[in-house]
Amino acid sequence: MKKKPLVVANWKMNPATFREAKKLFDATKRAAEKVRGISVVVAPPAIFLRGLSGAYKGKRVAFAAQDVSADEGGAHTGELSAAQIKDARAKYIIVGHSERRASGESDADVRRKTRAVLDAKLTPIICVGERERGASGEHFDVVRRQLQAAFADVASGEATRVVVAYEPIWAIGKEETMPPRAMHEMAIFIRKTLVATHGESAMSLSVIYGGAATEENAGAMLSYGDVTGLLVGHVSIDAQRFAALLREAGNI
């Protein structure tokens, strides 16, 4: 049975106020309610998460946190634990986003965070991707290393509880994405890498695309990129463009 496309709206550090966040969420909710056959997840700034999730009584939209601490609690100023995020009604947590990695997050950090999310019975969305591409295929080595580190503490039977978001860093924030054919090749590589370490069940792992996903390329990427969803950045904070993207995803 074909999986529903999973569309994750990563608002990053937007918008500036809760009032604006509520307005954006209401528009996103209305758009999601008009499109069937897809799963929509909103990842707002952490300070808005509980306010938005607590006021929402529907079932068409789920929530995610943009990051998590690997620690359960204690003296970690400014951090949020997986248990706290779960208490705020999130079901997903983004782990290892390229912007977090650029700020110093290591493969070892991603490994610990992935384990913490799974232990909290939440779904980690693990981001992997290369900063640049060369003709000799070094980007595959980068992605393999990131995957092996992130899944090091994930049991074979848990692999399908994880979503892998491939985000080529060179494409993030731009309007031009990678060709669906190239994404198809990477999706196969991701699954084969994890089959080698976690068995055949990893072939059914959800792989989503997260580099410049827009309303213009969503349909082609979902149809021909061998992905089961999209991690959407800047388009997700534009209500009209995100609604158009959801319509495209719903037509697949």
Tell me if residue 33 is catalytic. Answer: no
pLDDT at 174 over 80: no
Please give the pLDDT value at position 171: 78
What is the model's pLDDT at position 217? 94
Mean pLDDT on 89-114: 97
At residue 134, the pLDDT reads: 74
In the chain, the N- to C-terminal Cα span, in Å, equals: 14
* pLDDT at site 29: 98
Residue 248: pLDDT band with limits 50, 70, 90: very high
For the purposes of burial, counting CB atoms within 10 Å of the CB of 58, is it exposed (0-12), middle (13-18) or buried (19 or more)?
exposed
Mean pLDDT of 24-48: 97
Give 9 or 169, the one with higher predicted confidence: 9
| Active-site option among 97, 139, 198, 234 | 97
Instruction: Write out pLDDT tens, residues 197-236.
Output: 999 999 999 999 998 899 999 999 999 999 999 999 999 9
Choose the catalytic residue: 167, 198, 215, 248: 167
| 222 HSE (CA, 13 A, CB side) | 27
In the chain, how many H helices and how many E strands? 9, 8
Average pLDDT, the chain: 95
d(CA 168, CA 209): 9
Q: Which pLDDT score is estimated for 150? A: 98
Average pLDDT of span 241-251:
97
Residue 164 neighbours by CB under 8 Å, 6+ apart: 125, 126, 128, 147, 190, 194, 205, 206, 207, 208
What is the CATH topology of the domain spanning 123-229? Answer: TIM Barrel (3.20.20)
Give the pTM.
0.96
Pairing of strands 163-166, 39-43: unpaired
Q: Provide the pLDDT for residue 211.
A: 86
> For residue range 115-139, what is the model confidence (pLDDT) as tens digits?
999 999 999 999 999 988 877 789 9
pLDDT of amino acid 218: 96
% residues pLDDT > 70 (the chain): 98
Catalytic: 139?
no
Domain boundaries in the chain? Answer: 1-8+27-93, 123-229
Q: Taking 70 as the threshold, does the pLDDT of residue 194 lie above it?
A: yes
pLDDT exceeds 70 at position 1:
no
Q: What is the CA radius of gyration of the chain?
A: 17
Q: Examine the pLDDT at 177 and tell me if it is beyond 90.
A: no
Rounded CA separation 115/96 (Å): 13
The pLDDT assigned to 117 comes to: 98
* Cβ proximity of 172 and 233 under 8 Å: yes
pLDDT reported for residue 173: 65
Nearest to 180 by CA among 130, 234, 137, 218: 218
Bridge partners of 165, per DSSP, are: 127, 208
Mean pLDDT, range 75-103, rounded to an integer: 97
| pLDDT reading at 108 higher than 80 | yes
